Chains A and B, each alone.
Chain A
Amino acid sequence: MTKWIERHRNILDFTLASLLRRKRKNAALVSVYTLIVFLLASVLLFTYALREEASILLQQAPEMIVQKLVAGRQEPIPVAYIEQIKAVRGVSSVKPRLWGYYYDPIVGANYTLLVAEDPLINPGSIVVGEGVSRLRFVSPSDSLEFRTFQGATIELEIKKVFSSEFGVVSSDLILISADDFRRVFGTSEEYATDLAVNVRNPKELPTIALKVAELLPDTRQILREELLRTYDAIFNWRGGILLAILFGGVLAFIIFAWDKASGLSVEEKKEIGILKAIGWETSDIIRMKFWEGLVVSLSSFLMGLVLAYVHVFFTSFMLFEPVLKGWAVLYPEFKITPFIDGAQVASLFFLTVVPYAVATIIPSWRAAVVDPDSVMR
């Protein structure tokens, strides 16, 4: 066993010395390789972390939302529906929600206005998301102007700016009191935007949703699971677009790496001949080439992964920010919480490291089975 380890150690030692001999060639290879892993890993880490973050956030969302539909469009829902829904067996609470979108002509951005029960939010005061504060250059104790549905202007004082912990969803958010909301949008007291329903047993949710649908045929029921699926689809789709763009780069790299790894130069062939002539077995040479491929691909993989981690979680995905985040003027500025999917990292490993290591072995095997007397001639 010790002999076996020493044999590997000695061969690895020679491999490392060999790699250092062709510094430029190998440095170029490792750089391109690292760049590819970096790009792929950045997209994968980012989309996964974003999805995880959104789904954690949505865990706090109500289990079911009931909206009123008129001609297929959402309309304010009568508050009177609350009692009817409460009467359905299994429903634990029904709360009216008031929210909407407000277009700010000054900066050309859309804000999401949401009525929240918070001691800070009294009539005349609001709490704004970090993106809003950045875009309008406002901070607590400043005021924001809103045009009401009748054309009048009201001023609301900012009490607080959100922390950016969940920036991706809350960046464009403004929390407002119910009174101010109704003043801005003209929603009457008898109506809410939609109803948030919680149930006693989540397993009964589909049944309860059916019952509500039967009871109130002009409403639709949105379950939290459906929201999660929508978020998943959106982030996957965006990640997919970027991956599609990267695909060209990846393809170019595969051709480049295949060429580098599978082609042996005359010098390399001669070296294999020398090693065989002085007593190296074919398996020793394949071992050496395997180590060589592994050192190049594994170090590139690890470097690419670490760089991607820094890029995604420390620099907030600086390079591709506009593609993947937000779809309004308000690009959220935030640091995402690191979430890593082991399976994704493993598949990236198998897609980048393994093919390269194999690509280096095949030609060496072909060269190594040749009679060593070639060096004598």
Chain B
Amino acid sequence: MIELKDIRKVFNSGKPNEFAAVQGISLSIEAGKATVLKGPSGSGKTTLLSLIGCMARPTSGRIVLFDREITSLPERFLTEIRRKTFGFIFQQFNLIRGITALENAMLPAYPLGEKFSSIKKRGLHLFELFNISQKAHSKAEWLSGGEAQRVTIVRALMNNPSIIIADEPTAHLDTKLSLEFMDILEKLKEDGKTLLLASHDPLVYESKVVDRVVNVRDGRIEGAEE
């Protein structure tokens, strides 16, 4: 479903601080499975996630998504793919302060041109599903770590994407909340979502939910574990 062919990503190209974050990675990710990119900080996991999630373009190499070559697509199409295909769960949650949890979760749906009332209805339904209805109208900055995490999950699911990308999702959660998060991922997998995670937390890569662990180090793949 996702094919990476000899992907390289170089930052600050041609400058003294040139840095190759990803150095010739080829990888194939299956649909409906949970894949974890495992590796230490600075190994290139996050860069790889952002390349797959159409947030950045590789310096060289090709990415094929659902049999469509996406690396050469113009910005507008990439945004559309990002909006419809991917749901993102960020390490820092990245909720917008000052607006409510519900408004944060509804944001990805705004540019779709859908009726406000139906976006809101869908949002409230998801809040109920993740057991945080009582926090729907709380300001984002008032939420606890676990609540903020759930709001980002709701936001990631807002446009009903087929692939969920999570970058170090348990970095700011304690063990109990981390396990709860993995339970949620299990449910999402049962619903047919493809899960792609980057983590160096054993709670994540050793979880039974995970189908495949890919070791990344110094921008290269070390060898896949099944």
Question: A residues bordering B, Cβ < 8 Å?
Answer: 2-7, 9-11, 13-14, 17-18, 20-22, 267, 270-271, 274-282, 284, 371-373, 375-377
Which of B105-113, B125-133, B176-184, B210-218 contacts its partner? B105-113
CB distance from A214 to the nearest CB of B (A): 79
Q: Can you give 30 contacting A-B residue pairs, CB < 8 Å?
A: A3-B112, A4-B113, A5-B113, A6-B113, A7-B112, A10-B109, A10-B110, A10-B116, A10-B119, A13-B116, A14-B110, A17-B98, A22-B98, A276-B79, A277-B82, A277-B94, A278-B108, A279-B82, A279-B83, A280-B107, A282-B79, A284-B110, A284-B111, A371-B55, A372-B55, A373-B47, A373-B56, A376-B49, A376-B50, A377-B46
Residues of the B chain whose Cβ atoms lie less than 8 Å from the Cβ of A375: 90, 92, 94
Residues of the A chain whose Cβ atoms lie less than 8 Å from the Cβ of B107: 14, 275, 278, 280
Residues of the B chain whose Cβ atoms lie less than 8 Å from the Cβ of A274: 94, 96
CA–CA, A18 and B104, complex, Å: 11
CB atoms of A281 and B79 under 8 A apart: yes
Residues of the A chain whose Cβ atoms lie less than 8 Å from the Cβ of B155: 278
Which chain B residue has the least Cβ–Cβ distance from A278?
B108
For chain B, the bracket of interface size reads: 35 or more
CA–CA, A279 and B82, complex, Å: 6
Partner of B99, one of A4, A18, A278, A376: A18
CA–CA, A199 and B5, complex, Å: 95
Partner of A280, one of B84, B91, B98, B111: B111
Partner of A281, one of B76, B84, B99: B76
Indicate whether A376 sits within 8 Å of B90 (C-beta atoms), given known contacts A274-B96, A279-B159: yes
Known: A10-B113, A14-B107, A373-B47. 16 other contacts (CB 8 A): A7-B112, A7-B113, A10-B109, A10-B114, A13-B110, A21-B97, A21-B98, A277-B55, A278-B83, A280-B83, A280-B111, A281-B80, A282-B75, A284-B111, A376-B55, A377-B46
CB atoms of A281 and B98 under 8 A apart: no
Interface centre among B55, B103, B110, B113 (most CB of A within 10 A): B110
CB atoms of A11 and B55 under 8 A apart: no
CB distance from A268 to the nearest CB of B (A): 10
B205 near A: Cβ within 8 Å?
no
Interface centre among B49, B75, B109, B111 (most CB of A within 10 A): B111
CA–CA, A20 and B112, complex, Å: 24
Indicate whether A17 sits within 8 Å of B111 (C-beta atoms), given known contacts A281-B76, A376-B90: no
CB atoms of A376 and B119 under 8 A apart: no
CB atoms of A280 and B110 under 8 A apart: yes
CB distance from A153 to the nearest CB of B (A): 77
